[in-house]
Structure 1
Amino acid sequence: MTTERPTNWTDRDSRLLEGALRQGATRRELLHMLMVAGVGLSAGGTLLGIAERANAATPMRGGHLKAAGWSASIADTLDPAKGSNTTDYVRACTFYNRLTFIDRAGVPQMELAESIETPDAQTWQITLRKGVTFHNGKSFGAEDVVYSLQRHLDPEVGSKVNAIAKQMVEISATGALGVRIVLAEPNADLPTILGLHHFAIIADGTTDFTTANGTGPFTCEVFEPGVRSVGQRNDSYFKSEGPYLDSVEFFAIADASARLNALMSGDIQIAAKINPRAMRTLEGRDGISTLTTTAGNYTDLNMRIDLDPGSKAGFIEGMKHLVNREAIQKSVLRGFADIGNDQPVSPASRYYNTELKPAEFDPDRAKAAFDKAGLLGVEIPIVASEAAASSVDMATLIQQAGAGIGMNIRIDQVPADGYWSNYWLKAPVHFGHINPRPTPDILFSLLYSSDAPWNESRYISSRFDSLLKEARGLTDESKRTEIYWDLQEMVAQQAGTIIPAYMSNIDAYTDRLGGLEPNPLGGLNGYAFSEYVWLNS
C-alpha cells in the first residue's frame, strides 16, 4: 500500500520541511509544524519520512567525521608507492589524487588527467587538468606526474607496484600539461591501472613522507603511524563538488567487536569491515545502517612452496581437501560470500572462469595426501590474526577437520599490530587478506608472476609469466578471456594458496551519514570515502 501526500501539500511545503530538518529541528517540532499546517498525524509521519530520506540524500557541508578501519601498524605510510593495506589506501585517497578514478561500475573516469588517448594501446598521450595546486601552493603539472610514475621504476623506492609499472619504458613530459607514456607492449588497461591507489600523484622531488603534500580533498594535519591521521578540508580543491566534511579522522580498532561497539556508542560514525557474525547484533537497531560490497576481496591461506611443509609433495593437496568451503561460507561468513576456487579473479569479474571447480572437502583424500608427505601427526603451525579478516575462525575449522584424520594443526594467533610486516609473506603457513583489484592482469602481476611483490606462496612459472604478458596486449576479448581462464586454472592447481571464499565487505555507519557507495576497489567507496560522504545534522 502506498500513502500519498495530502492534496493541499505543495513542493514548496516539502522544501520548507527539508530546510527545517537541515537546521536541526526535532521530530516533535516538525510534526507540530505539520499539524499547524492542517496535516493529520498519520499523513504527517509519512511526509516527515519522505523529507528525512530526501534530506539524507542531499549533500551537506560541515562536521568532523571519525572512521575506524581494522588494521594499522608503525609501518603505515603516506608514500602511495609503498602502501600495502587499506589504512594506507584510505590516506592516499584523502590527501592525494590519481590520474583516473575508478567509478562504482568499474569504469575509469578522469581525475587529474583531462584526457588519456592512444592509437594503439602502446603509446599514450595524457593531457592534464589545468588550475590544480598542491597543498603547499605549488602548481600541478607534467613534471609531477613524470616524477611520481618514474619512482615506481626505482628499486630503491620499493614500490609495491613495480612489477606493473615496469611495462612503462618511457615516461616523459610533452609540455607543461602533457605526459607521454610508452609501454613495452600494448596494454589496453592502462587508464584502469593509473586508477590504483599506488599511482597517486605527489609533487616533483618529494622524499619526505612524514606529512602529505598532495592535491587531494583534505590537507594532512596529523599523521601518527599506527595511531591515527587527521585531515582538514582543502578549500582550494579543484573539483566543484566536495569534499563536504570540515575534517576527517581515521584510525584502526583491530578488534571487530570493539569497532562495532564504538559505532553503536556514537564514538565513531563509520566502522569498516564488520564481522558477518555481528550482523544479528545490528538487526532492528535504530540509527545504524550497513553497506555490503561484493567486489572480490578474500582471506587466503598461504603455504610457501619454498619452505617446509609446503615444499613436501602432498601437503598443499591435502590442505585443499581439508578446507570445508561451504562451512566457511555459511558459518564463518554467515552467507556474505561466494565459494572460492583458489585463484584471485572473483565472480564479479567478466573474466571469471566459471568451469573451474574448487577442491572438494574430502578428509579421506586429505589424509592420504598428508600420509604421502609424511606429515600425519606432525605439528603444523598456522599463523592467523584479526588483521586478516575471519582468519582465526577459518583456522579453527581447519584445525578441527585435521584432528579428525590425525593431523596436528596448531593455531598461532598473533596480534594485528605488525602482522603485515612480521608474518605475512614470511611464515611458512599463514593467512593473507587481499583487497579487490579491477583487472586480472593487476591481480596476477601483484600476486602470482615470478617477480610479483606479494607472491604469497612463492609460485614461479615461466609459462605463467609468458601467458600473462601475451594477454596484456590483446584486444581480442575472446582470446584474452581464454588465456585468463588458463591462468586461473594454473594458479588453482599449482600455487600454494587456498582461497575458500570471495568475501562481501560490510561497512556499518550512522544513519546521519550520506554518500557511502559500493566500489570495485573495495569498501568505504573504494577507500575514497572521505571525499564523497557527508554528515546530516
Structure 2
Amino acid sequence: MTPVPGSTRQAPFRLAAAGAAVVAVSLVLGGCSAGAQGLGETSDGEKFTLSTSSPEPGSEIENFNWAMYAEPYSLDYAYSFDYPDNTVLSNVCESLFRWNEDLTTSPGLATGFANPDPLTWVYTIREGVKFHDGTEMTAKDVAASLSRHIEPEVGSFWASSYQNVESIEQTGEYEVTVRTTRPDYVFNSALVGAPGVVESAATLEEAGPDYGNSTTGVNCTGPFQFESWEPGESITLQRFADYWDQDLRAKSERVTFRMLPDANARTNALQTGEIDGGFMIPSNAIDLLKANEDAGTLYFGTDTSVQSMVFTDLEGTFKDVRVRQALMMALNRDALINAAEQGYATGTDALTTRNVWNEASPETVDAAFEALPSLPYDLEEAKRLIREAGAEGSKFVFATASLNAAFDITARAIASAAKEIGLDPEIQTMSNDKYTTLFSDPEAREGVDLLVTSWYLSANEPLEMYSVLRTGDFSNYGGWSNPEFDGLVNAAFEAKDPDERAGLTAQAAQLAAEEVVWGPLYESVTTMWLGNRITGAAPSINYMYFPWAAKIGGR
C-alpha cells in the first residue's frame, strides 16, 4: 500500500506509506476507444482517455532524465514505503511476483506457489537469475530477504504484511516455505511489492545498517543496477547486461532521477526538455502540458490512490467523532476538486478504489460501496456538530508541504473550512522530504493532529488499506482502536473465498467510515509525461513495483 505526501501501502502521500504527494485525476469511465481503457469525463464532457500504454520505442538510447518531487527515504526495500522510493527501486530490485499494467499479477522471481494447507505457502524460485554483482540467486537469498520483515532489529515498514508469519525457510535449492500461525489469504498478494523483494543474502550481511543508503546502494536482480546517488540532486542507474528477462532488457543504457521539489520547476523542465519525463504531474500543469504537443505527450492511466485527511491524534481536538464528521462536512469536495485538481478528480466516500476489489463479485463490491455512510457538504450541520461536541475554539496542528499547487489549495481549503466551523488550525508547512517522514517516524508526528495523504494500494486487495487501521498497526497513525473492527479484519484474512473476504472487509470499511478514522476526499488517476525524445512506458500505478523504465527507448 503504499502513501504520497500528501501516500502505503502500503498508498505513503502514502506519503508514505504508503505517503507522498500525488496528483488526483478524475476517474469517471465511459465508452472505450482505440488504445484506451475508458473515458474520463466532467460536467463539460470529454476530459481525457485512459491509456494502457505509450507507443513502442523505435530505438535504444544512451540515457534519459526522470523528474522526482522528493528524494527517496531509502533504497532499502524494508523502508521503501513511498512514491519516490519505489519509483526508483522498482527498476533495480524485483519481487517474487509482478504487478502488471492492468493490475493483474504474474510470475516474477518465483515461477509459482502451492498452498498445501491453510498455514503453508511453498514458493518455487526461478533458476538462472543473477544479482548485479554476478552471483546467482538461490532460495537462500529469498529466505534471507523475506525474513528481514519479521526481524525486530530491522523494523521493516512492511512488517504488518508478515503479521501472521511464523517461519520462513529454505526447503530446497530453489524452494522457500513460509508457515503462518493462522490462515492468511492476503499474504500472497503483498509479494508483488516491497514485501516480496529479493536481495543477495551476502550483500545484506556485508552492508549491515548501511544497506540501501546513498553510499552502498543495493545489489538486486532488476534490469537496471545502482550506479550513484548524489544526495539532494540525483540517483543514476545503469543497464544490467545479464538481466534474466530478455523481454524486459532495458532500452536505455542509463536513467537519472533528478530531485526537483518545486512543482513549477518540474513543469518547466518537462516543457524545455531538460527532463524527459515524470509521473504525478501537478494538476495545474495538466492543461498546459496537454496543449504543448511539440514538447511531449501527457498520459492518464490506472490508479489505486485516494486522497484523504488523516487524523493523527485522536486524543486531542479530534477525539470526538463529531468533530471529525464536522470537518468533513465543512469541506465542499466538488469545489475542492475543481479548484485543486482543475476538475481532474472524482469525489468518493471510500478509502479504496473499486479496482482493488476485483476478486469479488460485482454484486458484493456494489453492496460494499453502497453501505458506506456519506458526509455531504453541509456547513450549518457541521457548525451544529462542533457546538454539540463543545469544540468551539479548539486548536489543532495541521502539517502540510508545498508539494504542488493542488496540495497547497487542499491545505488552505481544509484550514478555511476548520475556521469557518469554529476550530482553530495551526498550519505547519514542512519540506517535502520532512513531510514524508511523518509516515514512517512516530517522533516526527509528535504534536501533529492532521495531515493529508494520497494513499495507494499495491495489490488487488482492499484489506491492504483497512488492515493498517487495526489496533497497533504501524500505519494506524492516530492510534484508533476498535475491537469489532479488528475482529472483522482478522476474520477476513482467514477467508479463502474472495466474496466472503470482501463481505467482511466491507463491514470493517463501514465501521471505519462511521468513525471517520480517515476522511476520503477524492480518487486519483496516474499521470505520466513523456517528452518528445522517449516512449515505451505505461501510465499505470504498477510503476511502483514493475521495472517501467526498462521499456523506455527512443521515439
Q: TM-score range by the shorter chain?
A: 0.7 to 0.9
Matches within 5 A, 1:117-132: 117-120=114-117, 122-132=119-129
Q: Distance in 2 between matches of 1:118 and 1:511?
A: 47
Percent of pairs identical after alignment?
21
SS at match of 1:432: strand
Cα shift at 1:149: 0.7
Which residue does the alignment assign to 1:440?
462
Q: Distance in 1 between matches of 2:54 and 2:312?
A: 53
Q: Distance in 1 between matches of 2:407 and 2:138?
A: 44
Q: Distance in 1 between matches of 2:71 and 2:148?
A: 25
Q: Distance in 1 between matches of 2:284 and 2:403?
A: 16
- Residue in structure 2 matching 1:298, options 299, 306, 310: 306
Which residue does the alignment assign to 1:260?
267
- Residue 486 (str. 1) matches residue 507 (str. 2): yes
TM-score if structure 1 supplies the norm length?
A: 0.83
Cα shift at 1:249: 0.8
Q: Distance in 2 between matches of 1:98 and 1:123?
A: 19
SS at match of 1:490: helix
Which residue does the alignment assign to 1:457?
478
Which residue does the alignment assign to 2:68?
69
- Residue type of the partner of 2:114? E
- Residue type of the partner of 1:259? R
1:171–1:181 CA contact under 8 A, matched in 2: yes
Which residue does the alignment assign to 1:310?
318
SS at match of 1:104: coil
- Residue 346 (str. 1) matches residue 353 (str. 2): yes
2:271–2:289 CA contact under 8 A, matched in 1: no
Q: Distance in 1 between matches of 2:310 and 2:416?
A: 18
Q: Distance in 2 between matches of 1:531 and 1:358?
A: 43
Would the alpha carbon gap of residues 414 and 153 (structure 1) be closer, same or farther in structure 2, given more than 3 Å must change? same
Q: Distance in 2 between matches of 1:236 and 1:357?
A: 53
1:382–1:429 CA contact under 8 A, matched in 2: yes
2:273–2:295 CA contact under 8 A, matched in 1: no
Which residue does the alignment assign to 2:282?
275
Q: Distance in 2 between matches of 1:111 and 1:305?
A: 40
SS at match of 1:329: helix
- Residue 145 (str. 1) matches residue 134 (str. 2): no
Q: Distance in 2 between matches of 1:520 and 1:460?
A: 31
- Residue 358 (str. 1) matches residue 358 (str. 2): no
Q: Distance in 2 between matches of 1:193 and 1:84?
A: 13
Which residue does the alignment assign to 1:224?
230
Cα shift at 1:232: 0.8
Which residue does the alignment assign to 1:8?
none
Would the alpha carbon gap of residues 436 and 55 (structure 1) be closer, same or farther in structure 2, given more than 3 Å must change? closer
Q: Distance in 1 between matches of 2:416 and 2:337?
A: 16
TM-score if structure 2 supplies the norm length?
A: 0.80
1:232–1:248 CA contact under 8 A, matched in 2: yes
Cα shift at 1:344: 2.3
- What per-residue deviation string (whole Å, max 9, x for no partner) do you get for residues 225-267 of structure 1? 4432111100011111211110011132122221111111111
Would the alpha carbon gap of residues 491 and 391 (structure 1) be closer, same or farther in structure 2, given more than 3 Å must change? farther
Cα shift at 1:378: 4.1
Give the paired residue count.
477
Would the alpha carbon gap of residues 71 and 467 (structure 1) be closer, same or farther in structure 2, given more than 3 Å must change? same
Matches within 5 A, 1:354-393: 354-355=369-370, 356-387=372-403, 390-393=406-409
2:313–2:477 CA contact under 8 A, matched in 1: no
Q: Distance in 2 between matches of 1:55 and 1:69?
A: 20
Structure 2: any 5+ residue segments left out of the alignment? 1-52
- Residue 100 (str. 1) matches residue 121 (str. 2): no
Deviating more after overlay: 414-423 vs 357-366:
414-423
Cα shift at 1:429: 1.6
1:449–1:461 CA contact under 8 A, matched in 2: yes
Cα shift at 1:211: 1.5
1:173–1:180 CA contact under 8 A, matched in 2: yes
- Residue type of the partner of 2:274? D
- What per-residue deviation string (whole Å, max 9, x for no partner) do you get for residues 430-480 of structure 1? 2223223321122223x3122321113222122222211211221223322
- What per-residue deviation string (whole Å, max 9, x for no partner) do you get for residues 375-432 of structure 1? 3234443221134883321122233334444444343322213112258761112222
Alpha-carbon RMSD across the aligned residues, in angstroms, is 2.4
2:166–2:180 CA contact under 8 A, matched in 1: yes
1:108–1:191 CA contact under 8 A, matched in 2: no
1:378–1:407 CA contact under 8 A, matched in 2: yes
Would the alpha carbon gap of residues 217 and 455 (structure 1) be closer, same or farther in structure 2, given more than 3 Å must change? same
- What per-residue deviation string (whole Å, max 9, x for no partner) do you get for residues 165-189 of structure 1? 1222221112111111222333344
Cα shift at 1:330: 2.6
Would the alpha carbon gap of residues 319 and 288 (structure 1) be closer, same or farther in structure 2, given more than 3 Å must change? same
Would the alpha carbon gap of residues 417 and 171 (structure 1) be closer, same or farther in structure 2, given more than 3 Å must change? closer
- Residue type of the partner of 2:297? S
SS at match of 2:74: coil
